[in-house]
Amino acid sequence: MNTMGYLLRLTTFGESHGPVVGGVLDGFPAGFRPDLAQVRLWNARRRPGSTPLGTERQESDEPEFLSGLSQGLTTGAPIAFVIRNRDQRSQDYDTLNQVFRPSHADYTYWAKYGQPPAPGGGRASARETAVRVTAGALALQWLQARGVTLAAWTENIGGVHYPCPPEPPPEDMIYASPTRCPDPDISARMASLVEQVRERGDSIGGTVRCMVTGLPPGLGEPLYGKITALIGQALFSLNAVRGVDFGVGFDGLSRTGSELNDAFIREGDTIRTLTNHSGGVQGGITNGMPLVFRVLFKPAATIAQSQQTVNLKGEPTHVEGRGRHDPCVVPRAVPVVVALTALVLMDAWLLYSARYKVDEKFREHFENKKL
């Protein structure tokens, strides 16, 4: 179950404090020339120390590719890569080994696998997301080569809110900001809140908004591979994610169908909708409008405050985080949301192509029907 995807499959491995984390990306078509500098850039945006707000743990996080590329081109064989864990300092975690840290995965991994809590979270560590970012950065380029723009940004930290704009903000504005919120004023208020929380030894959560433009209508495979279902599964596979909604989502709870239905209009050769309350999806299939969704990240479980818990002998005790951790994971989660979304959408695109590009005659018929 460490594999996601159908035709584009990412299998991940590695623990936070083992020698490496890594992945195998299988099903990537042959003949694509990835820009590895872009891959490194996305890893840099996710890695610890990438923003002044995050953990101080330093990892260069450069993926080393082991297979699947030849002379700069994908070969169609699986693309394997590892990212070395250089700065482990597992002594920071020693005292944690014998207790179940509240709201961490220590207890559930112990209950399921019979293993004592691993230093730094072991397999459950967010360090594993470096693998997803690497693979996702490849998928993103493949989508970009087809005219897709995929942007994610911090929308809310602890209640400080940046309203969703009609168009995706430019990437440089997002990553110029330490909070990954593109509005400088709101970003400053978010950063200030994170600093207050850090000083109290506490943590805070928030939301990431993601918007994808340039998608064709038709992505998503009813019933169980609806694009909403595939994105939902991918995002909920992150430990810290606690909620996902599409389009207006929970904010539309008091609004009626007549307010939220998206009327169709013709615009030149295409059909679009006047509004986009649906977030670009109807019946689980993209409709050609921007795909829009929101992801909720809970506050990081590690805090520098004493918390009540139980040790492996079942005795009551207290625990206080001493490692280097993020007071707010949201800014570093932004590239992870980008990566997972890119992986899902490229997979959906391949699935779509399998059936609906295969027959030239049908395609003509089909394309003629587009007005």
Our finding on whether 302 is near a second copy (CB under 8 A) is: yes
Q: Is 107 in the site for a second copy (CB under 8 A)?
A: yes
- Which residue in the set 49, 76, 169, 214 belongs to the binding site for a second copy (CB under 8 A)? 76
With respect to a second copy, which residue has the nearer C-beta, 169 or 243? 243
58 or 108: CB nearest a second copy = 108
Nearest to 206 by CA among 154, 248, 245, 166: 154
Q: Verify binding: residue 66, a second copy, rule CB under 8 A.
A: yes
Give the Cα separation of 276 and 274 in Å (integer).
7
Long-range interactions of 275-280: CB distance < 8 A, separation 24+: 276/247, 277/247, 277/248, 277/252, 278/246, 278/247, 279/246, 279/247, 279/248, 279/249, 280/212, 280/215, 280/247
Binding status of residue 61 toward a second copy by CB under 8 A: no
Q: Does 350 bind a second copy (CB under 8 A)?
A: yes
Positions 31 through 50 that interact with a second copy (CB under 8 A): 31-32
CA 102 to chain centre: 24
User: Which of 83, 96, 118, 137 is the binder for a second copy (CB under 8 A)?
Assistant: 118
Answer yes or no whether residue 144 interacts with a second copy by CB under 8 A. no
Beta carbon of residue 248, minimum distance to a second copy (angstroms, whole number): 8
Angle at alpha carbon of residue 294, lines to 291 and 299, rounded to 5°:
160
Interatomic CA distance for residues 91 and 262, integer angstroms: 56
Is 166 among the residues that bind a second copy (CB under 8 A)?
no
Least Å distance, CB 170 to a second copy, is 26
Judged by CB, which is closer to a second copy: 79, or 211?
79
Nearer to a second copy, 39 or 160 (CB): 160
When the beta carbons of 37 and 358 are compared against a second copy, the nearer one is 358
Among 52, 147, 159, 184, contact with a second copy (rule: CB under 8 A): 159
Closest to a second copy by CB, 172 or 256:
256
Kindly state whether residue 365 participates in binding a second copy, applying the rule CB under 8 A.
Answer: yes
First vs last Cα of the chain: how many Å apart?
43
Query: How far is the CA of 78 from the CAs of 137, 225, 344, in angstroms?
Result: 16, 23, 17
Phi first, then psi: give them for residue 219, nearest 5 degrees. -80, 140
What is the total count of residues that contact a second copy (CB under 8 A)?
158
3-state secondary structure at position 184: helix
> Applying CB under 8 A, which of residues 59, 278, 333, 339 lies at the interface with a second copy?
278
Q: Based on CB atoms, which residue is closest to a second copy, 26 or 183?
A: 26
* Cβ neighbours for 85, distance < 8 A, ≥ 6 positions apart: 14, 16, 17, 18, 19, 20, 21, 59, 127
Residues 201-240: x where in contact with a second copy by CB under 8 A, - otherwise, as a string? xxxxxxx---------xx-xxxxxxx-xxxxxxxxxx-x-
15: contact with a second copy by CB under 8 A: yes
Enumerate residues 240-269 that contact a second copy by CB under 8 A. 241-250, 252-258, 260-266
In the set 58, 60, 70, 95, which binds a second copy (CB under 8 A)?
Answer: 70
- Is 288 a binding residue for a second copy by CB under 8 A? The answer is yes
Rounded to 10°, the helix 36-46/330-356 angle is 140
For residues 38 and 137, the answer to whether their CB atoms sit within 8 Å is yes
d(CA 63, CA 73): 17
Q: In the set 109, 153, 162, 175, which binds a second copy (CB under 8 A)? A: 109
